[in-house]
Amino acid sequence: MVLFKKKAKPKVKKGFTEVVWEYTQSLGIAIILALVIKTSIVEAYKIPSGSMEDTLLVGDFLLANKFVYGMRLPIPFVDLRLPAIDEPEPGDIVIFKYPKNPDLNYIKRVVATEGQVVEIKDKVVYVDGEVFPDPPESKHTDSRIIPPGGRTIRDNMPAIKVPKGMLFMMGDNRDNSADSRFWGFLDRRLVLGEAMVIHWSWAPDDNAPDLNLSNPLSFPLLLGYNVWHFPERVRWGRIGNIIE
């Protein structure tokens, strides 16, 4: 029996321009996919303030699920969203655009949704007449109780009903949080996503050198300081924690 071997096709050597174009296409697709994921499914956020202590600390980096509350389609200049899988509920920690300045992202806990009645008596939060349980890691840092009719409604707020399409938000650091007690209800349409997990946590350090663009040596000084203090500045026990 005579076997005939299939003649292999000669390899065509690609030119430099063709190779560059293929790499450019691959890079472009990767960038587009990354942008789609970032703008519509999962996005990373950094905690800049202590308003959610001790649930979330300054320097925590977290991932948020942007799909669950209605994924925004990445189409420029148009606010199109897919139907939401779920709606924000009391107890959820959500990221949203700050109503007073939509360029800023805030993170707070949902206390009440549309139709519910919120009231605060001597620092105790009530929703529909029942005590809203303090989250496990929430705290009060000021033992004083500002009475009704005082200079602020921080500790005593008359009963108010959440309007349709709105949410009432509060920070877990109850005495040090700019939230719905002060700037009003949150429009549901400003909600970006639900906080999921802490993927990195970097403790602030007041002794760390400042980065000064006018001083070229400030960058290597800061880099060297962070490398030297890396083990103690990373909050290893918080990495991977589910946010509740």
Indicate the helix (H) or strand (E) that contains 16.
Answer: helix 16-40
**The one catalytic residue among 11, 13, 46, 51:** 51
pLDDT, position 33: 43
Say whether 51 is catalytic: yes
Cβ atoms of residues 173 and 53 within 8 Å? yes
- As a whole number of angstroms, the longest Cα–Cα distance in the chain is 104
Residue range 43-238, CATH number:
2.10.109.10
Q: pLDDT tens for residues 72-87? A: 666 666 666 667 788 9
**The one catalytic residue among 66, 108, 138, 177:** 108
| The two three-digit tokens of residue 220, written as one number | 């290597």
Q: What is the domain partition of the chain in residue ranges?
A: 43-238
C-alpha to C-alpha distances, 113 to 90, 159, 165, 167, 187, nearest whole angstrom: 7, 14, 8, 5, 10
Cα(240)–Cα(84) distance, integer angstroms:
26
| The two three-digit tokens of residue 161, written as one number | 């009903």
Among the listed ranges 22-31, 36-45, 172-181, 194-203, which one has the minimum average pLDDT value? 22-31
List CB contacts of 200: < 8 A, sequence separation 6 or more: 60, 61, 239
Say whether 214 is catalytic: no
Residue with tokens 């709606």: 87
Q: pLDDT tens for residues 106-152? A: 999 999 999 999 999 999 999 999 999 999 999 999 999 999 988 89
Indicate the pTM of the whole model: 0.80
**Residue type (1 letter), 54:** D
